[in-house]
Amino acid sequence: MKGYLGVDVGSVSTKLIVVDDNLNVLTSIYTSTAGRPIEMLQQCLRTIQPDLDSKLEICGVGTTGSGREVASVIVGADIVKNEITAHAIAASHRVPDVRTIIEIGGQDSKIIILKDGIVTDFAMNTVCAAGTGSFLDHQAARLGIPIEDFGSLALKCEEPVRIAGRCSVFAESDMIHKQQLGHSIESIIAGLCEAMVRNYLNNVGKGKDIRPTIVFQGGVAANVGIKAAFEKALDCEIIVPEHFGVMGAIGVAILARDHAKKTGQTKFKGFDASEFDYQVRSFECKNCSNLCEVIQIYQNGELAARWGGRCGRWDTL
């Protein structure tokens, strides 16, 4: 049996998935990065290994996400791709006629426009946390509501109260004000969902040609209240794929499979990589006025990779 490993290491969550030659999902994991990307990636490797057939051979590995370079060193990746490419590949495979991808994760949000399976436009919001998963988690904790129940409570409300959603600080203060006025939790949550959607469409989606078929992916796609708010705002059906939370990992797993079929080889270090000792160090290069911060990763005491300089002087990745 042949398998292909996709790894998506983000600032908030770490996702791993293994697919077979036909891109059937054999196992997957979605967990918090917890500010320790290397340790969590190693833990994920240990977790998924028992789920796989002992005869399964990992023939290709791909990494994506904000921590893709680090992840590539840890696992031994054959393909390293940005999140836009990874999400577009996965969505095109699961929903072939997709025209628009809405992706909202823990710390950022994206929109990807496709035509005939090719990315023609995209935008990202990495400045403000309003409209992201971490903001939703914070508000759920503040209200004392499990995040899993957040969306279903929003659907119970027929008349959402209007919440200012252009900024996370304004949104929270407005929610508190509405609570003090006596509005129900359901109406406030529904209003917050609609505010998040307005924020997304007015910022990330501004000027974009948003057309059906629309696919909603990323961790926030689990929130049925946000999905309903998007459907109301865009007046069309929003598709949430089965593996919406790990679509980035699926995308690079597909690319890893295609790469393996061409080359017939892989750099995968094996699941033993979960037990290696990794150390990260950095230094400031003073060879020019750029003063680049150069990152170094050591595996069991030996230099495994180095990158970060603009000129490539130090790169060994």
Distance CA 12, CA 107 (A): 7
E strands, the chain, where? 2-9, 13-20, 25-32, 57-64, 79-80, 100-104, 109-115, 118-125, 214-217, 238-239, 278-284, 293-299, 302-307
Examine the pLDDT at 127 and tell me if it is beyond 70.
Answer: no
Contact (CB, 8 A) for 100 and 214: yes
Distance CA 191, CA 189 (A): 5
**Residues pairing with 3 in the sheet:** 20, 58
Please give the structure tokens belonging to residue 197.
């959607």
For residue 2, count other CB atoms closer than 10 A to its CB: 14
Q: In the chain, what are the domains?
A: 2-87+248-274 (3.30.420.40), 96-240 (3.30.420.40), 278-307 (no CATH)
E strands, 105-145, where? 109-115, 118-125
pLDDT of residue 44: 95
Examine the pLDDT at 4 and tell me if it is beyond 80.
Answer: yes
When the pLDDT of each residue in the chain is averaged and rounded to a whole number, the result is 88
pLDDT of residue 160: 82
Nearest CA to 296 among 312, 269, 274, 314? 314
pLDDT digits 0-9 by tens, 237-283: 999 999 999 999 999 999 999 999 999 999 999 999 999 999 888 88
Contact (CB, 8 A) for 4 and 253: yes
Q: What is the mean pLDDT of residues 225-244?
A: 93
Helix pair angle (147-155, 133-143), 10° resolution: 80
Nearest CA to 14 among 257, 200, 249? 249
**DSSP 8-state class, residue 196:** H
Distance CA 281, CA 204 (A): 35
Beta-carbon contacts of residue 62 (< 8 Å; ≥ 6 apart): 4, 5, 6, 7, 77, 78, 79, 80, 81, 86, 251, 252, 253, 255, 256, 259
Beta-carbon contacts of residue 169 (< 8 Å; ≥ 6 apart): none
pLDDT digits 0-9 by tens, 80-112: 999 999 999 999 999 999 999 999 887 788 999
Give me the phi and psi of 112, to 5 degrees please: -130, 125
Alpha helices in 20-81 (DSSP H): 37-48, 68-75
Please give the structure tokens belonging to residue 114.
């496709």
**What is the pTM assigned to this prediction?**
0.87
Contact (CB, 8 A) for 39 and 67: no
Stretch (H or E) spanning 128: none
Q: Burial code of 270-309, b = ≥16 C-beta within 10 A, e = fewer?
A: ebebbeeebeeeeeebeeeeeebebbbbbbeeeebbbbbb
Examine the pLDDT at 317 and tell me if it is beyond 60.
Answer: no
